[in-house]
Structures are given as structure tokens and as C-alpha cells.
């Protein structure tokens, strides 16, 4: 969980004050303690001089042993002695271990010495050939502790006051303006159309607010422009959909027109021939052999009409995807059956068919009879185009990760580029009139597409035609 801005500022200011005031506290405490110690040494030195002067003055008048004992006090003078002109101790009182055994005559001394009770100040004052040595304790633990507590209290109060002041100032100058910016941005995010920010805070925050207001206005303008573009796009999409529907209707009408024209051509010509032959028979004066010839020609034209209607029926069936059959075809086995059907036919005797289909190639997802129908149609078309003798047809099959490709090549004249786009349309043919209905390749495309594959026409390496079939693996 992330902390709020106020708490983060409070923690940061607290850490800053700790870093700043803790060393300051120790520094002030050390200085105050040093000052207190110096003051105590000065006071002890003055006290020692005064006591030594009084004792030496009294010593000139008589015995001072009682006077020395009177100068001793707890927490004050702990030892006192008078030395003669030779520097030897003449009389003493108190803890004399803190006093020197001998002193130098005429030399004043003031130095800190260590005693069992703590640090003390040794003061030696010479006068009229004698010297007085006094040891005064400097131990002031209670006073030092009180001073340290006072310094700590002062530091803590100042730090707390600065923390409160800084917190209030940062809240007024930074936190509240930032919260105002956040609330205004939240209103815009919730759907507000303007960024309303009060003019408060530092100059930098005001400039930030102005920048955010300008950015919001620009974003709203861009949003409105985008909405306009979306409306234009929706209008254009609707128009394109309408145009597409119109185009589809036009294409359907064109397909119907081409189908009607093809039907009229492929069926009309045989019907016209049949009508003429019937009129010829109706004259009744034909010899028997001519009458038989007329009947044979009428049968041939009738079979032509039947073939056109049969191919048209096969084409219509392949255009219905819902009736597409599911199956699994072994390419090598299907191709073997096709070659067995074509082998005995007279028009295939002068044509060399090369097959490069591995026996272990993957099966394809199409009924075997449908694949046989497509391969038979492609091979028969290739046989109509290759030269004789010397005609060659090749069948190659290979597979990749998801599909199997079957290619049928020939060494014929090839397919003109202008005819490739129309090659799979119904009733389009490059053969002579009467040799083809123009429905064979259309039926092939319908069969392949119903199985989820594709078929395309191109150019073989020998310059002839190449038909490539791509089917999904079973």
C-alpha cells in the first residue's frame, strides 16, 4: 500500500529533523558541558585562592590546625595543607593523598587531578615564604544531567515546532493544490468536459495547473475530432456496405446473364440443329442411309445438350457449401485409379504421364471420388492441349505442416494471362465450339473450395499450363 502525500511529507520532514537535530543536540550538550566544566574550574580556582589566602593569613598569627579542619566540606574542599619555606608539608587536613608531598616555593599552581570521588582541582597559592595547597572537587553529575535534559528538551521542542510548521506550510502550499489537481483530473476522467482548478499554491503548481488545463482542452478537442472521424468512418462504412451489396447484386445479375448466355449458346445451337434436322426428316423423301445419318446427327446433338445439363447440375451442387461431403482421400491411390481409367482411352496413347507422388504422402480432407473427379478433369484438359506425339503431363504432390499441394503440369501452349482470371468462371472456355462446355474447371473449383482448399492456374517450367491444388491435411 502506497502512503499518501501528507504522510510521506511528514515522514520525510521527521527524518530530516532527526538527521539535523540529533547531531546538533549532542554538539550543544558537549559545548554546554564544556562551558559548565570551565565555569566550575574557574569558580573552584577562585575559591581555592580565597581559602588559601585566609588560611595563610591566619597561619602567621598562630596555630591553624582547627582552621584547616573547618575549611573541609562535602562536595567542596576535600584536602588542605600548609607548606613551609622549604616546600615541606607543615600541617594538613582531609584526604591528603590528593595533595603533593612537596611544593615549589613561590610557584602558584592550578591543575585538575583525579581522586576517588572524581576529578578535582588542585590549587597551590604561595605567600610570605609559605604555600597553601587545596584540593576542591569538581564532580557535578547532577548539574550536568540537568543541563543535558534541558538541552534535550529545548532541541525536542524546537524540532517539534519546526515539524508542525513545515507540515502546515507544505500542506497549504503543496498538498492541497496537488489534491485539487487530482480531484479536477478525476472529474475529467469521470466525464467532465472542463478542468476547473482553483488558483492556489506556488507559482510552479499554478503553471502545472495551467498546463494541465491546456492539455485537457486539447485532448477534448482531439476527442471531438476523433468522434467526427468515427462518424465519417461509420458513414463511409455504411456507404461501402451499400455499394458492396449493389456490387454483389450486379455480379449476381452478371453471373446470371453469363449463365443464360452460355445456356443459350450451348443448348441453343444444338436445338437449332435439331430443328433443322427434324424439318429435313419431315419432308419424307430422304433415302434410308441419309435418314440414318440425320438420326445419328440428332442423337449427337441431343447428347451434347445432355452433357451440358449434366455439367451444369454438377456445378450447381458444388456451389452449396452446406452439402459438402466429408472424407479422407489417399492421393497416391486416387491417382492410380485415375491413370487406370485413362490408360485404355485412345486419345491418351501418345501422351506420357509422369507421376511423382510418394506412397506415404499425407492423406487430404476430401472424399476420394471428388478428388478423382478433379484430377480426371485436369488430366483430360491437359490431354486436349499437349502436342501429339511428344505430349507430356506431370503430376507432383508434396506436403507442408498443414496442407498438401498437388500440381498438374503439361507441355502444351499454356494459358494466356488475360484468360487466367476468367478461367474458373462457368461457361468460359478456350476450346473450340462444341468441344467443351466451360463448366469443367468451374466444377473443379467448387469441389476444392467445398473441401476447404484452393485451386489456381499458372505456368509450368516447360511453358505449358500448371494447375496447383492446395488441400488441408486429414
Lowest-confidence segment of 13-27, 63-77, 215-229, 266-280 by average pLDDT: 266-280
| Residue 78 φ/ψ region, left for φ over 0, alpha for ψ in the -120 to 50 degree band, beta for the rest | alpha
pLDDT above 90 coverage of the chain, percent: 12
| Residue 143 φ/ψ region, left for φ over 0, alpha for ψ in the -120 to 50 degree band, beta for the rest | alpha
Structural domains for the chain: 5-148 (3.30.450), 323-472 (3.30.565.10)
Task: Collapse the DSSP code of 364 into the 3-class scheme (helix H, G, I; strand E, B; otherwise coil) and give the result.
Answer: strand
In which element (H, E) is residue 123 found? strand 118-127
At 144 the pLDDT is: 60
The mean pLDDT value for 27-54 works out to 84
Give the distance from CA 211 to its chain's centroid.
28
Q: Which residue has the cell 443464360?
A: 260
End-to-end, the C-alpha distance of the chain in Å comes to 56
Residue range 414-452, pLDDT digits in tens: 888 878 777 887 766 766 655 556 677 888 888 888 888
Reference 112, options 27, 28, 48, 56; nearest CA is 48
Higher-confidence residue: 250 or 110?
110
Reference 361, options 426, 405, 394, 324; nearest CA is 405
Lowest-confidence segment of 42-46, 203-207, 379-383 by average pLDDT: 203-207
Q: How far apart are CA 301 and CA 293, in angstroms?
A: 13
Q: How far apart are CA 121 and CA 77, in angstroms?
A: 9
pLDDT above 70 coverage of the chain, percent: 85
The mean pLDDT value for 164-187 works out to 79
Q: Provide CB contacts within 8 A for 373, sequence distance 6+.
A: 443, 444, 447
Lowest-confidence segment of 80-84, 95-99, 252-256, 379-383 by average pLDDT: 252-256
Higher-confidence residue: 349 or 112?
112
At 407 the pLDDT is: 94
At 364 the pLDDT is: 92
The bridge status of strand 391-399 relative to strand 351-356 is parallel
Q: How far apart are CA 354 and CA 14, in angstroms?
A: 92
At 43 the pLDDT is: 86
At 393 the pLDDT is: 92
**pLDDT of 321 strictly over 50:** no
SS3 sequence of 69-107: HHHCCCCCEEEEEEECCCCEEEEEEECHHHCCCECCCCC
On whether the CB atoms of residues 278 and 294 are closer than 8 A, the answer is no
The set of cell numbers assigned to 408 is: 498438374
pLDDT band (50, 70, 90) for residue 113: confident
Please give the mean pLDDT across all residues of the chain: 81
At 231 the pLDDT is: 92
Lowest-confidence segment of 127-136, 269-278, 356-365 by average pLDDT: 269-278
SS3 sequence of 370-403: HHHHHHHHHHHHHHHHCCCCCEEEEEEEEECCCE
Higher-confidence residue: 48 or 187?
48
Residue range 93-112, pLDDT digits in tens: 888 888 888 888 888 899 98
Q: Which residue has the cell 570521588?
A: 117
Higher-confidence residue: 243 or 263?
243
Higher-confidence residue: 317 or 157?
157
At 264 the pLDDT is: 64
On whether the CB atoms of residues 140 and 120 are closer than 8 A, the answer is no
Amino acid at each position: 500500500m502506497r502512503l499518501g502525500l501528507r504522510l510521506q511529507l511528514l515522514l520525510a520532514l521527521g527524518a530530516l529533523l532527526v538527521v539535523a537535530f540529533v547531531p546538533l543536540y549532542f554538539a550543544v550538550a558537549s559545548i554546554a558541558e564544556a562551558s559548565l566544566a570551565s565555569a566550575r574550574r574557574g569558580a573552584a580556582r577562585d575559591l581555592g585562592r580565597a581559602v588559601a589566602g585566609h588560611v595563610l593569613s591566619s597561619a602567621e598569627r598562630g596555630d591553624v590546625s582547627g582552621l584547616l579542619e573547618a575549611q573541609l566540606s562535602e562536595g567542596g574542599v576535600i584536602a588542605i595543607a600548609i607548606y613551609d619555606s622549604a616546600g615541606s608539608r607543615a600541617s594538613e587536613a582531609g584526604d591528603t593523598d590528593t595533595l603533593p608531598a612537596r611544593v615549589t616555593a613561590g610557584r602558584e599552581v592550578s591543575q585538575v587531578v583525579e581522586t576517588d570521588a572524581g576529578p578535582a582541582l588542585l590549587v597551590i597559592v604561595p605567600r610570605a615564604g609559605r604555600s597553601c595547597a587545596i584540593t576542591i572537587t569538581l564532580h557535578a553529575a547532577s548539574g550536568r544531567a540537568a543541563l543535558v535534559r534541558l538541552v534535550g528538551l529545548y532541541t525536542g521542542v524546537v524540532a517539534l515546532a519546526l515539524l508542525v510548521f513545515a507540515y502546515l506550510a507544505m500542506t497549504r502550499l503543496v498538498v492541497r493544490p496537488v489534491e485539487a489537481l487530482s480531484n479536477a483530473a478525476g472529474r475529467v476522467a469521470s466525464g467532465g468536459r472542463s478542468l476547473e482548478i482553483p488558483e492556489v499554491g506556488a507559482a510552479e503548481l499554478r503553471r502545472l495547473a495551467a498546463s494541465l488545463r491546456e492539455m485537457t482542452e486539447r485532448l477534448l478537442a482531439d476527442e471531438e475530432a476523433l468522434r467526427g472521424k468515427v462518424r465519417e468512418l461509420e458513414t463511409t462504412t455504411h456507404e461501402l456496405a451499400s455499394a458492396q451489396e449493389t456490387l454483389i447484386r450486379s455480379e449476381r445479375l452478371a453471373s446470371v446473364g453469363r449463365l443464360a448466355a452460355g445456356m443459350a449458346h450451348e443448348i441453343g445451337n444444338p436445338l437449332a440443329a435439331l430443328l433443322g434436322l427434324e424439318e429435313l426428316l419431315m419432308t419424307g423423301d430422304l433415302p434410308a442411309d441419309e435418314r440414318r445419318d440425320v438420326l445419328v446427327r440428332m442423337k449427337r446433338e441431343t447428347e451434347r445438350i445432355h452433357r451440358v445439363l449434366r455439367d451444369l447440375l454438377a456445378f450447381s451442387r458444388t456451389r452449396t457449401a452446406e452439402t459438402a461431403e466429408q472424407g479422407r482421400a489417399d492421393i497416391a491411390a486416387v491417382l492410380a485409379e485415375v491413370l487406370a481409367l485413362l490408360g485404355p482411352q485412345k486419345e491418351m496413347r501418345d501422351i506420357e504421364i509422369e507421376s511423382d507422388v510418394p506412397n506415404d504422402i499425407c492423406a487430404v480432407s476430401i472424399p476420394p471420388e471428388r478428388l478423382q473427379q478433379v484430377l480426371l478433369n485436369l488430366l483430360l484438359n491437359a490431354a486436349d492441349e499437349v502436342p501429339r506425339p511428344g505430349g507430356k503431363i506431370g503430376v507432383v504432390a508434396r506436403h507442408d505442416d498443414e496442407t498438401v499441394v498437388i500440381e498438374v503440369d503439361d507441355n502444351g501452349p499454356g494459358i494466356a494471362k488475360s484468360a487466367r482470371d476468367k478461367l474458373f468462371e462457368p461457361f468460359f472456355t478456350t476450346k473450340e465450339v462444341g468441344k467443351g462446355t466451360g463448366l469443367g474447371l468451374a466444377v473443379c473449383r467448387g469441389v476444392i473450395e467445398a473441401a476447404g482448399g484452393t485451386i489456381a492456374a499458372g505456368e509450368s517450367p516447360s511453358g505449358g499450363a500448371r494447375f496447383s491444388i492446395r488441400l488441408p491435411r486429414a
